[in-house]
Amino acid sequence: MTVIVVATLISVAAVLIGTYKLQLGPAALVLFPIIWAVIIGGIIGTQRVRRLSGSSRAVAGFLLEIGIIAFLAALGLQIGPSLAKFTQIGPAILLQEVGHIFGTVILALPIAVALGLGRVAIGASWSIDRESFLAYALQRFGVRSGEYRGVFSVWLLGSLFGAVFISLLAGTVGNLGIFDPRALALGLGLGSASMMLGGVGALSLLFPQRAPEIAALAALSNLVTNIVGFYAGVFLSLPLCRRLYRFWSQLFGRDDEGRSLRGKSTGSQAAQAVKPLGKVETDPALKPNARMTLVAYTVVGLMALIANVVGSKSFHPEDLMGVAMLLTLTWLAFALSKLVPAVPSSVWVLSMATVLSAPFMPTAGFLGGMTQHLDSLLVGLPALTLIGLTLGRDIGALKSLSWKVVVVALVTYGASFLAAAAVGQLVLH
């Protein structure tokens, strides 16, 4: 109960704090409710006065999983009505994946090798914030491998701070006027719902008249990434990354532990190169029964509804039915992902919501009427608050991360976003 009350209060506080735009020369730093929610949640989640218990974090994680999928359902309902309009930029939606795949390898990998990360560089520059890459690296390379340590580090940092970083980057780049807002929206299809949510929030504030289009394009791009991104990463990006790793290692004179081959390596250098990751605290296993699951869905729905009412300063009776529709789609997505494990729930929910809200479907009018007053960003706000509250579980692993890995992770996220946006810009213009 504690984590529910705290998360709700943080969400309301974040909305009330509002939006601030700080002009930094030609660029701008946009601070908005999503960022406040993650920051406040992170502070409370890591403070030592009265830390959240493991059981509370387990509950937060369960609610987070439901909340993120409900947010994707809301975004999917924005894609369907715009499908006809998006057929004109279909090539841009598909080709942006080239930027996601190769932007990280081309830009982040040489930096990682030059900093002396060794084989950690392969995992850190090949993957983004995707659980499928983490699972693949664990199976392919093993838990003690440098490749896995790199993937885990980028995944951990992205899960906790990726939304804030991408939102700040998207806001800064968007204010420069270099990119078409549609290209930037396409670049947000990183495969991470939280990063996409952060970026959409920033761009929607900069281009309010195009906010629905930005959200729909970002969600559609993210759907494409989730469908083809894993296979493209495994069969295209990873082989390229491993070949280029050998090239850059020879050029910079580094071995697989990141030690220099051009001078005498010291024991301290070796120890630093193979520094193990800190442990992530293990929360109690949560085994929800039917009653607990129903309560969790109800709680997620109420949190989303409260955030929407506070943010929009209005309440409409149909909003209750709209939230119920989002939760129904969420439940169906989880059920289908269990039947077909190869397809994650995020893909199921985006696909179903998009098809059911498409103009040619008889359900489009009903769904549109029930959810017309729901803001997808406000619906997803409580979920990002829960990310911050669970930060205490990962604090040991975060402390053990080298600053070099942090730098490479940020370059990886940024390069993926900017390269995909650049590809989208070229195709659109």
Instruction: State the alpha helices, DSSP H only, in 18-141.
Output: 33-46, 54-79, 83-86, 90-114, 120-126, 131-141
Q: What is the pLDDT of residues 138-153, one digit of tens each?
A: 667 876 688 877 887 8
What pLDDT is recorded for position 274? 43
- Average pLDDT rounded to a whole number, residues 321-336: 94
**Six token digits for residue 145:** 């491998």
Least confident of 79-93, 158-172, 297-311: 79-93
What pLDDT is recorded for position 396? 66
What pLDDT is recorded for position 271? 42
Give the number of other CB atoms < 10 A from CB of residue 320: 14
Which helix (H) or strand (E) element contains residue 283? none
What pLDDT is recorded for position 389? 82
- Average pLDDT rounded to a whole number, residues 104-133: 83
- Spatial distance between the Cα atoms of 79 and 82, rounded to a whole number of angstroms: 5
Q: What is the pLDDT of residues 43-85, one digit of tens each?
A: 888 777 777 777 888 888 889 889 888 988 888 888 778 776 6
Least confident of 86-100, 266-280, 346-360, 410-424: 266-280
273 pLDDT exceeds 50? no
What pLDDT is recorded for position 366? 92
What pLDDT is recorded for position 79? 77
Q: Which range has highest mean pLDDT (118-122, 189-193, 318-322)?
A: 318-322
- Average pLDDT rounded to a whole number, residues 394-414: 79
**Six token digits for residue 279:** 């442990």
Least confident of 28-32, 179-183, 281-285, 332-336: 281-285
What pLDDT is recorded for position 339? 93
Q: What is the pLDDT of residues 220-256, one digit of tens each?
A: 888 777 767 766 777 788 888 999 999 999 999 988 8
Looking up tokens 């900093």, which residue turns up?
A: 115
Q: What is the pLDDT of residues 348-374, one digit of tens each?
A: 888 899 889 988 899 989 998 999 899
What pLDDT is recorded for position 26? 60
Q: DSSP for 349-365, please give it.
A: HHHHHHHHTSTTSTTHH
- Average pLDDT rounded to a whole number, residues 104-132: 84
27 pLDDT exceeds 70? no
407 pLDDT exceeds 70? yes
What is the rounded end-to-end Cα distance, in angstroms, of the chain? 52
Give 300's pLDDT tier (boundaries 50, 70, 90). Answer: very high
Q: pTM value?
A: 0.70
Give 287's pLDDT tier (boundaries 50, 70, 90). Answer: confident
- Residue of 264 and 95 predicted with greater confidence: 95
Give residue 268's identity as a one-letter amino acid code. Answer: S
Give 301's pLDDT tier (boundaries 50, 70, 90). Answer: very high
Write the CB contacts of 387 (distance below 8 Å, at least 6 apart in sequence): 38, 41, 64, 159, 160, 163, 194
From the number of C-beta atoms within 10 Å of its C-beta (0-12, 13-18, 19+), residue 408 rates as buried
**Closest C-alpha among 115, 131, 134, 132 to residue 123:** 134
Q: Which range has highest mean pLDDT (4-18, 33-47, 131-145)?
A: 4-18
